[in-house]
Structure 1
Amino acid sequence: MPDTAVPDRPTHMHAVLARWAAEHPDREALRYGERTWTWAQLLSRVARNAAAQRAAGLQPGDRVAVLDLNHPSCLETTLACAQVGTANTVVNFRLAPSEVAYVINDSAAKVLFVGPEFAELVAGVREHLPHVRRVIQVGDPGTPGDEYEAWLDIEPDPEVYPAAPDECFLQLYTSGTTGFPKGAMLTHAGMIAHSANVVAAVGAAPESNVLVAMPLFHVGGSSYALVCLYSGARMVLTRIPDPTRLPAIMEREKITHTFFVPALMALMTKVPDVGAHDYSALRVLCYGASPMPLPVLRASMKVFPNVFMQVYGMTEACGVITVLGSEEHADTANEHRLISAGKPIPGVTIEIRDPSSGKPVGTGESGEVWVRTEQLMGGYWNKPEATAAAIDEDGWYRSGDGGHFDEDGYLYITDRIKDMIISGGENIYPAELERVLAEHPSVADVTVVGVPDDKWGEVPKAVLVAADGHTVDEAELLAFCRQQLASYKCPKSVDVVDELPRNATGKILKKDIRARYWEGRDRRTV
């Protein structure tokens, strides 16, 4: 794609850290529990981590891996990798042992940093990790078993590997809802472009206090932390996103910016006295990574008024690509926009293309979301065919998401293309049905899948979990849908289950649900 780099924008992630360490060496950069780091201290610790990597024989292009809950050592390792030319693979700690081993082996990580909660897991798969030369236990300084501080007990190495802008320093794995996860290679240029674009959208600055609560194995964690770093803001990092503790942290630390996922927001709104805390410092509360049910959004807006910003994005684009701002959230005359993903952020171009032909479709027409931006990954690690299938020769990324633009330029995400239901020749997007069903008081959790039908080929079925204290009346629920949706879109039946299957990042495994109904039947690829 054309060179769109901003002339005064850094091209190396280490330059971002070095800038703030030079301008504000004694200002607090990071808080984790009762521990704090100034910008100068953070720079020194990263330089010692870099020196330790080199002493361990790591070379540019090598991978390390982190399997831990949120801890400053993960961020320090990511920044050290940027300095050395290596890349940090942050492993999803919610994976099963065999899946953890797959990711570590796929990355060929030579050094593995492990938190205390996962030491037993790693011991169980250690013999199946042939690339790992050394396992380093991570804990708080002085705690039994901590080896990370000893790892840093080395003379700082100021040398900075002259990485090209398109070299990877952070490797995050996709969630793998349809197969093994793929390692998205996030580059200096991509992450810096993302950081600059998001900082412009959310208004973070050196005077801001940014709460990073989401797991660092996700772009909502690591990418958001790097956005904070880019802005020069003070970062407050929590080990886990505990909904019962976050309100007090937000008040005490005078948090101005943060990012939460909808599931966390749903839990926070139910915390006793959540509205009694002082959130007057809060300027922007971003949410995303999964659809936000409108009942949860409305309840959340009562607790945190005038600060909400919806973000839509993907690992392959380092994170955020569109934003729906606080003004739209407050616009009661256009409340329908609350279910949109907003508009592309600066530096991002989005087109809706026909998923079969790849040709652009008209305004209001549904198709696949294609993305072109400097934020894009360098490709999937060791998967050239998957990379070529995802990114065309002109630099357009095929997201796999279905969507459309309205006449005002707002993007609406309908569903994953693979989840679309084709019933009697009509395209039905389950997410549209799920939004309506989630509004019914008897529904706690819901998904919609296509099931076999002799007349129409397939028809929508709602599979849901009943809300506490409620009994689901199928006829009432279907009538509720018909009041708000065209009849052909509405579910034809309802199944009530105890829980919906989810992957390690919380996404519903529709392929597993569909499999229950399609056994022995032919269907398009699922």
Structure 2
Amino acid sequence: MTIANDANADADTVVPIGNHIDRWVQSKPDEHAVSYGTTDYTWAQFRTRIRANAAAQVADGIRTGDRIAFLDKNNLACLETTLAASLTGAANAVINFRLSPDEVAYIVNDARARIVIVGSEFADLIAGLRDELPTVERVIVTGGVDDDYEKWIAGASDADFEPVRFDPDASFLQLYTSGTTGHPKGAMLTHRSLGAHNAAAAVGFGFTPSSVNMVAMPLFHVGGSSWSLAGISVGAQTIVVRDVDPSAVLDEIVERKVTHAFFVPAVFGFFLEEPRVADRDYSAVRCLGYGGSPMPLPTMRACLETWPDADFYQVYGMTEMSGVFSVLGPEDHRDLAHPERLVSAGRPLPGVTVTVVDRDGNALAPGSIGEFWVQSKQHMLGYWGNPEATSKTLVGDDWLRTGDAGLLDDDGYLYISDRVKDMIISGGENIYPAEVERVIIENPAVADVAVIGVPDEKWGETVKAVVVLADDASTTDVELIAYCRERLAGYKTPKSVEFLSALPRNSTGKILKRELRKPYWEGRTLHS
């Protein structure tokens, strides 16, 4: 089955991303544009800082196709560097600040970065790696007592600076995939792809020039950088949050009269643990988005009760698609006639076509599980320096293979089963762990769960549940297996249960199932 959203999202006209800034400088130069910490900038001031950054890049010899690497927690300087790169023809390769030194070095070298801009908290890390970064010509520290960044942009004049000739397919933002398997790959996002995403997101989430958009997701993640650019494109105010302290973030939402915000489900869980979570005035909030990993139904129900007047949006997106491409909207979150849609990833955004295919790329009927393929101008240019991986992901007539398995129902709603690679094949039956996880997480004794396939001499693989118990709760493997047997087909029911204190996750909250599988599959071959 294939579903297309052909609604006009103004994605056919590609303009330089910097044109949006110019537009708001012309119409409201003295109005509030961005905030970072206690500092606010108007649109005119923001544009001046972006152009100063661009002029500084050029003064340091940065040219079209070059890469700058940025390593820090959320920092307005990162957003300025991305927007400046769109003017110089370079690209900002934003690095996950939670990575190990070896992983940071890998990304800097993979990007062949000529400049590294690093937050003061991580300056020692880069200093320790300096001899291992052969392409780096300059390191610029931002923040702290040794701040170089403000001097760097203050010392550059944009009087003679002119943006490079516009190329709609030029990449100015390079975000690295989370790397749950193998080395991360640099997805090249362009004026065309991010412009299409901006247009679709503006429609999908109701961004307007009066919106106040909180950016709390890390800027190394597509949910941070793309979310911020979507708001900026329509003239919304942007609030950049450096650290996600639940109580402080909730207070800032109220004090800043935030209308739009996006968080991963785990952060909503932290919010719900705050003693005063329900005592604040959230009347300004219009859009609360979540995604990056599934939200357990108990958490979702609690959120709907805690924020009864807010519109909730579940998003399905990926780095390679410049952000979100399918949304479950607010009406579906509170549709008593279709409660099953709470576990849906919604319907495609404007300008997006989604199909479900078998292993040979043939479209499947509604209700059949296969791999999601997506067609949209939002797709990346490719993986930086990796044509082989690009050719495996971008196929046919501009289709992008998501690697996610799931189905489309008769009404065009997407239901994600799992990553294709996480599918368990037991006795010839395909089992998608998410189906089993959705059942187990409903058990009140369970706080977190991951389901994996482990080797079995008779069936090839069997289902194993790895469980974290809720505080002060107790249950046994026998009780959990019996609980599942009442609610699942026999072949989907776990044959074994392991209890852990916590599940291994990457920096964006995704469970590292390869780490859970590793002890069982060492020396064996897992199906592809």
User: Same-fold call, TM > 0.5?
Assistant: yes
Q: Give the counterpart of 2:269 among 262, 266, 271.
A: 266
In the other structure, the counterpart of 1:149 is 150
Secondary structure of the structure 2 residue equivalent to 1:83: helix
1:19-53 deviations in Å (ceiling 9; x for gaps) = 11111111100011210110000111111101100
1:418 corresponds in structure 2 to 421
Q: Does 2:105 correspond to 1:101?
A: yes
Q: 2:32 aligns with which of 28, 53, 66?
A: 28
Offset at 1:7?
8.0
The CA distance in 2 between the partners of 1:149 and 1:522, in whole Å, is 53
Deviation per residue, 1:333-390 (Å, 9 max, x gap): 2111000000001111000010x21111110000000000000000000001110111
Residue identity matched to 1:160: P
- Structure 1 residues 383 and 5 mapped into 2: Cα distance closer, same or farther (>3 Å)? farther
Contact persistence 2:176–2:187 (CA under 8 A): yes
Residue number in structure 2 paired with 1:325: 329
Out of 347, 350, 354, the residue aligned to residue 354 of structure 2 is 350
Within a 5 Å distance, the mapping from 1:116-515 to structure 2 comes to 116-139=120-143, 143-153=144-154, 154-157=156-159, 158-305=161-308, 306-354=310-358, 356-515=359-518
Q: Structure 1 residue 9: deviation in Å?
A: 3.7
| TM-score normalised over the length of structure 2 | 0.96
CA distance in 1, matches of 2:273, 2:416: 28
Q: Please give the per-residue CA displacement for 1:379-415, whole angstroms capped at 9, x wherever unaligned.
A: 0000011101111131101110001001111000000
Determine helix, strand or coil for the equivalent of 1:269: helix
Please give the secondary structure, in 2, of the residue aligned with 1:244. Answer: helix
Q: Whole-Å Cα distance in 2 between the matches of residues 5 and 230 of structure 1?
A: 13
Q: Is the 2:82–2:172 contact (alpha carbons within 8 Å) kept by the matching residues of 1?
A: yes
CA separation in 2, counterparts of 1:148 and 1:164?
28
2:246 is paired with a residue of what secondary structure?
Answer: coil
Do 2:468 and 2:503's aligned partners in 1 also have CA atoms closer than 8 Å? yes
C-alpha distance in structure 2 between counterparts of 1:447 and 1:479, whole Å:
17
Per the TM alignment, residue 8 of structure 1 is displaced from its structure 2 partner at its CA by 7.8
Stretches of structure 2 lacking an aligned partner (at least 5 in a row): 1-5
Displacement, 1:184?
0.1
Taking structure 1 as the reference length, what is the TM-score of the superposition? 0.97
- Map 1:47-126 to 2 at 5 A: 47-126=51-130
Taking the aligned partners of 1:8 and 1:313, their CA distance within structure 2 comes to 20
SS at match of 1:136: strand
Amino acid at match of 2:399: W
Does the 8 A contact of 1:214 with 1:240 survive in 2? no
Does the CA contact (< 8 Å) of 1:107 and 1:381 recur in 2?
yes
Report the equivalent of 2:3. none
- C-alpha displacement at 1:506, in angstroms? 2.4
Distance 1:7 1:360 in 2: 26
- Which whole-Å CA distance do the structure 1 matches of 2:56 and 2:480 have between them? 60
In the alignment, the residues of structure 2 paired with residue 193 and residue 146 of structure 1 have an alpha-carbon distance, to the nearest angstrom, of 36
User: Contact (CA 8 Å) 1:215, 1:240: kept in 2 or not?
Assistant: no
Partner AA of 1:55 in structure 2: A
Deviates more, 1:17-26 or 1:370-379: 17-26
Deviation per CA, 1:37-89: give whole Å up to 9, x if none. Answer: 10000111111101100000010110001100111100000000001110000
- Supply the distance in 2 between the matched residues of 1:504 and 1:124 (Cα, whole angstroms): 22
1:520: how far off?
3.6
> Partners of 1:128 and 1:217 in 2: how far apart?
22
**Across the two proteins, how many residue pairs are aligned to each other?**
519
1 CA distance for matches of 2:125 and 2:477? 44
Looking at structure 2, the residues matched to 497 and 503 of structure 1 have their Cα atoms a distance apart, in angstroms, of 17
| Structure 1 CA distance for aligned equivalents of residues 74 and 524 of structure 2 | 44
Deviations 1:457-508 (A, max 9, x none): 1111001111111122222212222222212111111011122222233221
Q: Do the aligned partners of 2:9 and 2:203 also contact (CA within 8 Å) in 1?
A: no
**Deviation by residue 1:430-469 (Cα, 9 ceiling, x = unmatched):** 0111111111111111100001122211111001111111
Partner amino acid, structure 2, of 1:77 = T
Question: How far apart, in 1, do the equivalents of 2:173 and 2:166 lie?
Answer: 13
Offset of residue 244 of structure 1? 1.9
Match of 2:23 in 1: 19
Deviation at residue 518 of structure 1 after TM alignment:
1.9
Aligned-CA RMSD value: 1.4
Please tell me whether the aligned partners of residues 9 and 350 of structure 2 are also in contact (alpha carbons under 8 angstroms).
no
Aligned counterparts of 1:206 and 1:94: Cα–Cα separation in 2: 34
Q: Percent identity?
A: 52
Contact 2:9 2:200 in 1 (8 A): no
**Distance between the aligned counterparts of 2:62 and 2:110, measured in 1?**
17
Whichever residue aligns with residue 474 of structure 1, its letter is: D
| Structure 1 portions without partners, runs of 5+ | none
Counterpart-to-counterpart distance in 2, 1:152 and 1:255? 30
The answer to whether the 8 Å contact 2:11/2:199 transfers is no
Q: For residues 32 and 505 of structure 2, what CA distance do their matches in structure 1 show?
A: 39
Distance in 2 of aligned mates of 1:474 and 1:7:
52
Name which structure has the greater RCO, CA cutoff 8 Å, separation 6+. 2
CA distance in 2, matches of 1:198, 1:135: 35
In 2 relative to 1, CA 162–240 (structure 1 residues): closer, same or farther, beyond 3 Å?
Answer: same
CA contact (8 A) 1:10 1:16 kept: no
- Aligned residue type for 1:81: A
Partners of 1:244 and 1:97 lie apart in 2 by 31
- Provide the C-alpha distance between the structure 2 equivalents of 1:270 and 1:7, rounded to a whole number of angstroms: 41
Counterpart CA distance in 1 for 2:336 and 2:349 is 23
In 1, Cα distance between the equivalents of 2:146 and 2:100? 24
2: CA distance between counterparts of 1:11 and 1:460?
Answer: 50
SS of residue paired to 1:362 = coil
- State the one-letter code of the partner of 1:156: D
